[in-house]
Amino acid sequence: MKNVEITGNHITINVRDNCRNVDWGHKNVIKILKRSLASLEKLIYSNATIITKKNNKKFSIDLLLCGDLKMKSLNIGFRSKNKTTDVLSFPLYHSLRKGSDEFVIPGELSLGDIIISRNIAKKQAKEFGLKIEEEVIHLFVHGLLHLLGYDHEVSKEEEIIMETLEKKVLTNIRNS
């Protein structure tokens, strides 16, 4: 198991990988996440959220990269779906979106957990003509938006809002 802490000016991403062999693209994922920190901070401190540098100078996200057995187990346990999936998010707040009445305690803020299946990411990367690390970053951004309170499963309008933000953040990451 490989554990890595990626720290930026305001963000810390705690990455755990339960794969014994991290040659699947783990190092490139870490490299892209490090390069992405400024873009991720920009999203989190944007006018799309209620998080401010004044109240929350630091925040963290826990990321687990796992296989299908672990993902299927989590999907059964938390969503009653007897299958694997690409990404699961476990937010610590209902919504951190602009307009939310969520109370956020000042100080260091944990946003929650993102869990990504390496196997599904690999399949989807092939399907979309991407490198696996690009698909993992896409899934991470998708999971992060769920941590902030976005949910594409609620309505078509919400799906469009989430996809638009996702594309914006991924473009910023590619250009960083």
Rounded CA separation 152/159 (Å): 4
> Which residue segments constitute the domains of the chain, with CATH numbers given?
2-174 (3.40.390.30)
Q: Evaluate if pTM is beyond 0.85.
A: yes
| Residue 103 φ/ψ region, left for φ over 0, alpha for ψ in the -120 to 50 degree band, beta for the rest | beta
Spatial CA neighbour of 4 closest among 25, 28, 31, 30:
30
When pLDDT is cut at 50, 70 and 90, the band that residue 135 belongs to is very high
Rounded CA separation 59/127 (Å): 34
Mean pLDDT for the chain overall: 92
> Residue 144: is its pLDDT beyond 70?
yes
Question: Which pLDDT does position 33 carry in this prediction?
Answer: 93
The residue that leads in pLDDT, 2 or 125, is 125
What are the pLDDT digits (tens) for 61-106?
999 999 999 999 999 999 999 999 999 999 999 999 999 999 998 9
10 Å CB burial of residue 153 (0-12, 13-18, 19+) is exposed
